[in-house]
Each structure stands twice: as structure tokens, then as C-alpha cells.
């Protein structure tokens, strides 16, 4: 049974008046369709503000080409502030491929149809709000705002852009997950503190003309310096990267002309009971009824029967922005809260007995983390690179106990893990037999894993474990499945064109794929997204944490060759693969030998143009 409109937060003036309201306290605008599910950030923020007593309305995917949609609740601005997000993804990542081609699909839009959100959605929406409501306080957040808080390299324009705080003309950025901050902002504004004085809140970025009164801060090279000097850009990244600690972090300042952008230290991680409360809010777990005729929202299908167990990731992969957004510290929900949610899912009318995922950014990090919790980061090394830290709590036993309890709930037939596992963490755990438990109960025929590459040089740039660790895990996985009498396979994910990867390294990876007799259906070409370590390497040609020069494949021709090498068996890639092999001097891999990647001739090239293969009778 579908939920009714009154079960959701208001989406227009009619819904608002039906509740007896004449004005909103807070207006939230999102680039995603409105899905009232805890996997959608605006739903969490909206429900949280609601239980704190605020009148909240949501405008989802407004038409930015007109101001009409921005007046969905009338001409009167919200009493406290407007909160803006591009949605669950950066709008540029959502709208474009790594080859800078516009995507046709958008799983966060009705029917999966693209084109419902503008490029740089946060900036566009915020400037429209200024046009409609004038000086109303504007707070921007979500992934797009969070990762563009400093001067940053923009891949799509191939230049350094200013902090999004200035281009959007907003008053504050909430960076990270944001629940603590938005409530504190609402309460501060409610108490009469003007928005321009809220420059001190943890987990926020403010702008100011003066640094008077600010002590013990780190100043980055200015926007003007980092936009013209790549060494200064690398230094700037290193300085801010080292200050993302919620316990010991200091304010970080970057000058932009007459303005100073001030990042306060990250907000403290949520305690278990606080995280439990968030996921137990009264979500309908449905998309809004207005999308029914358009076929619903595809993104909901992937998460509706999945469980989020924790936040954060201490993997710190160079190409991933999680450490800059959710942080390294694992914040886990209680077992009781998770089981309560599973029981709720089993009562939904369309539940078929399958829990699709039980995890987080990395599933098997649940209840793991640093034994020095509460003291902040070590500051000396990453938790898993180049090998697991001695201070790391690596036991999977609590995760195993959780999964066993979920399997025992009436109505649950299968429990799968889709959010990925860190095999290096698994291999480092000598206290529990998680691999056997995983293979016996939680793999649906294939286990997706992310070794990413085979070259030691590239893996070092990625901050990933050595390939020997993956090879050992692969053998253990085979051994356990054989013991269980199961035929289950590994599906490894690989990345092309990552900083540090040239044609030689990509050919080395292609040879590995050949030896595995593996034919990747999905491959990933590295996309430089704001505020990642790898993006800094891509733009500057420098590893900012070591100061070493690093090779970067930027030429689109080479990037196409590298991607083609991942799928060298596909006839469509023949010319690109052959070109790559000849350019690298690897003619030995062309021909009919056992080690060859491709034959001398393109498949089918012996037939004359227009000639068809005869059909067998």
C-alpha cells in the first residue's frame, strides 16, 4: 500500500496549509527527487529537524530556468533558513562521464531520466533563492558543497575554482554528514543570533573579512596562489588534509581576494545512540506519490531493503573522498537498532525475504576502528596502508553476531553483503572466521571486490594494499568455497588512468586479466572529483603527501587506450588496444600465441565489406 501525501514532509503551499501552517521555519532544496528514506540525505535532515519541532518543507528538483518552482511555498521566505544540496552525488559527477560526455540516465530522478538537475546545482539553486528571497540565510551542504569548500581543481573546466561558498553567495557550508550542525544552526538562529555571527560552529565553513579573534589556525596558500602555482596547490592540499580530525583539528583558513574562507574543525562523530535515533525516525521508506506515474525513482530499488550499519571509512583510498566527508572514525549503530529496522522491513508489503545489504561505506568495518578512539587520528600513517596499523581493532566477531541474528528473524530468507569488503582487513583478522561465514551465507554467487590494480607503483599511488594480499585472499576464498561445496566467484574491480598508471602498467593489468581468463563487463575510468588525494595528483603531477613527482595520464587518447586495455577481448576495442600495444613496444602481445592479448587482424576483418557470415542449417 503506497503512502499518502500527508505521510511525507510538505512539498508545496497546499501541503503546508493542510498542516495549519502559514510559513515554513526551514526550506530544504535538493537536486534529487524526494525519497523519504534514510539513504537520502535530505530525508534524514528533514525528519531530524521535524522532531526538533521545526516546520520543514522540501522542494525537490526545481526547474532552475524559472523562479516559479522556488516559490512552491509562496512568496514568504522561511523563518530561519534555506538549506540547499545537489543531492546524494556531486551534480557534475551525476551529469557527466569520465570522458566528459553527458549522461542520459539519472537514477535519482523520476523514471531514471536525466536532465532534471543543472550543472553545479548548489550554485544555481542558491543564486535562484537569492533572487527570490533576498537576504534569507542560506546554508549549503551535501557532497557537492562539502568537497568544494576550499579552492579546488574542477575536472570539467580544467581549472581551479573558488570555494563554493563564494560562488553560491551562501552564508555557511555544512561539511560532513551534517546532522549536528543543522540543528545547532537552527537553534542559534531561533535564539536571535544573526547568520553572519555563526562563524565558530564545528563542521561548518564560514566567510569573513577579518581574522581578529581567531587563534591557532592553519593558513593555506591563497586562492590566487593555488590557481596559478601547482606546487602551492599541492601544499594547500597537504595542509588541509592533515586537519580533518574532530578531536585535534585546528581551524583552516584560505584567503580569496578580500574574503577569508574559514573551515572550523570537523563535527564530533555521532555516538551510537545518536546514530540509532537517526535511523529510527518515522521515514515512509517510499518515493513521493507524485512520481508514481513516471515509474518511480530507480535509486530506491537498490537501497530499500538494505541496512546501513555504520558510517566512516579508514581505508583512505586516494581516489575516494569519504575521508574528507564522513571521516575516518567508524560510527556504528547498535545491534538492537539494526534488528529493529530489519523487523520493520519484513513487514513492508513488497518485502520478498531478501536483505540486499548489511553494511556501510565498507561493510566489514562495522564495530572496528582505532583502539585509541576519542584521541583523534595518529597523524603518522593511514590505518590500512601500507599494512594494517597495530592500533586497529580488526575483529569481525560483532559483525558475524549481527548477521547471524538477522538471519534468525522470521521472514528473512537471505542476507547479502553488497557494499564491499576490505579484504586486507579480513586477512588481518585472526580472531574470527569471517570468510567462512561470508561464503556460507552472504554471497549470492559472486563477491565484488576492489583490488583496483596489480602494479606496485600504481597501488602505492592509490594507497591500496599490495597485490600479494589480494592474491592470498583470492586463494583463501577459493579454498573456503571448495570446502563448503559452493561455486562462487570473485568479481574484481579495476581502474584505468589513475595517477601513476602509464601504458606499461595498464598492459601489466591486462595481462593479469588474460591469465585470470576474466572478461570485465564493467570498468571504471578514473574521474578526478573535488578534494581527493588522487585529484590533487592529477592536477599537479605531485604526490602532495610525499612531494614526489608522479606520472599522470591526461591525454584523452591515452585514457581511451587504457580503458580499452581493461576490455581487450571486446572487438570494438581492437584498434585502441593494438595502438596501445604498439606504442608501448609490446608487439609480442599481438598474434596467435598463448600470451597474446589480440590477434594480428581485427576479428572479422578477412570478410569483404557487406559480406555476411553464412548461417548454419
Q: Is 317 part of any known ligand binding site?
A: yes
Name the nearest CA neighbour of 97 among 556, 525, 558, 537: 525
Q: How far apart are alpha carbons 49 and 140 in whole angstroms? A: 16
Assigned C-alpha cell, 287: 518515493
Assigned C-alpha cell, 594: 598463448
Q: Is 439 part of any known ligand binding site?
A: no
Q: How far apart are alpha carbons 495 and 506 in whole angstroms? A: 9
Strand, helix or coil at 292? helix
* Cα–Cα distances in angstroms (integers) from residue 211 to residues 96, 185, 208, 214, 419, in the given order: 38, 21, 7, 6, 43
Q: How is residue 189 annotated by DSSP? A: H
CB 95 within 8 Å of CB 119: yes
Instruction: Give the chain's count of helices (H) and strands (E).
Output: 22, 22
Number of neighbouring beta carbons within 10 Å of residue 142: 30
Q: Is 536 part of any known ligand binding site?
A: no
What DSSP line would sit under 391-404, residue for residue?
TEE---HHHHHHHH
H/E element holding 443? Answer: none
CA 537 to chain CA centroid, Å, is: 19
Answer positive or negative: Cα dihedral of 511, 515, 521, 527: negative
Q: How far apart are alpha carbons 493 and 501 in whole angstroms? A: 16
Residue tagged 523487523 (cell numbers): 343
Q: How far apart are alpha carbons 282 and 326 in whole angstroms? A: 24
List all residues 6 or more positions away from 449 whose beta carbon is below 8 Å from its beta carbon: 420, 421, 423, 470, 473, 490, 491, 492, 493
H/E element holding 465? Answer: none
CB 532 within 8 Å of CB 544: no
List all residues 6 or more positions away from 268 whose beta carbon is below 8 Å from its beta carbon: 180, 202, 246, 247
Q: How far apart are alpha carbons 71 and 12 in whole angstroms? A: 8
Strand runs labelled E in 280-348:
306-308, 310-311, 331-332
CB 149 within 8 Å of CB 172: no
Residues in the annotated binding site for [4Fe-4S] cluster: 313, 317, 320
Residues in the annotated binding site: 313, 317, 320
Amino acid at each position: 500500500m503506497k503512502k499518502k501525501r500527508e505521510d511525507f514532509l510538505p512539498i508545496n503551499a497546499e501541503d503546508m496549509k493542510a498542516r495549519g501552517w502559514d510559513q515554513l521555519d526551514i526550506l530544504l532544496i535538493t537536486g534529487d527527487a524526494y525519497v523519504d528514506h534514510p539513504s537520502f540525505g535530505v530525508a534524514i535532515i528533514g525528519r531530524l529537524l521535524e522532531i526538533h519541532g521545526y516546520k520543514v518543507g522540501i522542494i525537490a528538483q526545481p526547474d532552475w530556468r524559472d523562479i516559479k518552482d522556488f516559490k512552491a511555498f509562496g512568496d514568504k521566505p522561511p523563518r530561519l533558513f534555506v538549506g540547499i544540496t545537489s543531492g546524494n552525488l556531486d551534480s557534475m559527477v551525476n551529469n557527466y562521464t569520465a570522458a566528459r560526455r553527458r549522461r542520459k540516465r539519472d537514477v535519482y530522478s523520476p523514471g531514471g531520466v536525466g536532465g532534471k538537475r543543472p550543472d553545479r546545482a548548489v550554485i544555481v539553486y542558491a543564486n535562484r533563492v537569492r533572487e527570490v528571497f533576498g537576504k534569507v540565510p542560506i546554508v549549503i551542504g551535501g557532497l557537492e558543497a562539502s568537497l568544494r569548500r576550499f579552492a579546488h581543481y574542477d575536472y570539467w573546466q580544467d581549472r581551479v575554482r573558488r570555494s563554493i561558498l563564494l560562488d553560491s553567495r551562501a552564508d555557511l557550508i555544512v561539511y560532513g554528514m551534517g546532522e549536528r550542525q543543522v540543528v545547532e544552526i537552527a537553534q542559534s538562529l531561533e535564539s536571535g543570533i544573526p547568520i553572519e555571527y555563526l562563524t565558530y560552529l564545528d563542521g561548518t565553513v564560514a566567510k569573513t573579512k577579518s581574522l581578529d579573534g581567531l587563534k591557532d589556525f592553519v593558513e593555506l596558500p591563497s586562492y590566487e596562489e593555488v590557481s596559478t602555482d601547482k606546487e602551492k596547490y599541492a601544499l594547500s592540499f597537504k595542509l588541509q588534509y592533515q586537519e580533518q580530525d574532530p578531536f585535534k583539528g585546528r581551524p583552516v583558513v584560505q584567503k580569496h581576494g578580500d574574503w577569508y574562507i574559514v573551515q572550523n574543525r570537523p563535527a564530533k562523530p555521532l555516538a551510537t545512540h545518536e546514530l540509532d535515533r537517526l535511523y529510527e525516525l518515522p521515514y515512509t521508506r517510499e518515493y513521493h506519490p507524485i512520481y508514481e506515474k513516471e515509474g518511480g525513482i530507480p535509486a530506491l530499488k537498490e537501497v530499500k531493503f538494505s541496512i546501513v550499519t555504520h558510517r566512516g571509512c579508514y581505508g583512505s583510498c586516494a581516489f575516494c573522498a569519504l575521508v574528507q566527508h564522513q571521516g575516518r572514525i567508524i560510527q556504528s549503530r547498535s545491534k538492537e537498532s539494526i534488528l529493529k529496522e530489519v523487523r520493520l522491513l519484513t513487514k513492508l508489503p513488497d518485502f520478498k525475504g531478501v536483505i540486499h545489504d548489511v553494511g556501510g561505506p565498507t561493510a566489514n568495518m562495522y564495530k572496528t576502528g582505532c583502539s585509541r578512539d576519542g584521541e583523534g587520528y595518529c597523524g603518522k600513517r593511514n590505518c590500512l596502508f601500507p599494512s594494517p596499523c597495530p592500533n586497529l581493532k580488526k575483529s569481525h566477531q560483532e559483525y558475524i553476531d549481527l548477521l547471524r541474528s538477522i538471519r534468525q528473524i522470521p521472514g528473512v530468507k537471505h542476507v547479502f553483503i553488497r557494499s564491499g569488503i576490505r579484504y586486507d582487513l579480513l586477512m588481518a583478522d585472526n580472531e574470527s572466521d569471517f570468510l567462512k561465514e561470508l561464503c556460507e551465507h552472504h554471497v549470492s554467487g559472486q563477491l565484488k571486490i576492489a583490488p583496483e590494480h596489480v602494479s606496485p607503483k600504481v597501488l602505492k599511488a592509490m594507497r591500496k594494499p599490495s597485490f600479494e594480499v589480494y592474491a592470498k585472499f583470492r586463494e583463501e576464498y577459493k579454498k573456503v568455497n571448495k570446502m563448503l561445496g559452493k561455486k562462487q566467484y570473485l568479481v574484481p574491480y579495476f581502474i584505468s588512468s589513475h595517477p601513476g598508471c602509464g601504458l606499461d602498467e595498464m598492459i601489466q593489468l591486462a595481462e593479469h586479466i588474460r591469465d585470470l581468463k576474466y572478461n570485465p563487463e564493467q570498468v571504471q575510468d578514473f574521474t578526478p572529483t573535488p578534494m581527493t588525494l588522487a585529484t590533487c595528483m592529477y592536477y599537479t603531477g605531485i604526490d602532495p603527501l610525499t612531494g614526489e613527482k608522479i606520472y599522470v595520464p591526461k591525454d584523452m587518447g591515452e585514457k581511451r587506450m587504457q580503458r580499452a586495455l581493461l576490455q581487450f577481448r571486446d572487438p570494438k576495442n581492437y584498434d585502441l588496444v593494438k595502438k596501445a600495444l604498439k606504442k608501448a613496444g609490446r608487439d609480442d602481445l599481438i598474434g596467435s600465441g598463448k600470451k597474446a592479448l589480440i590477434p594480428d587482424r581485427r576479428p572479422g576483418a578477412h570478410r569483404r565489406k557487406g559480406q555476411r557470415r553464412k548461417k548454419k542449417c
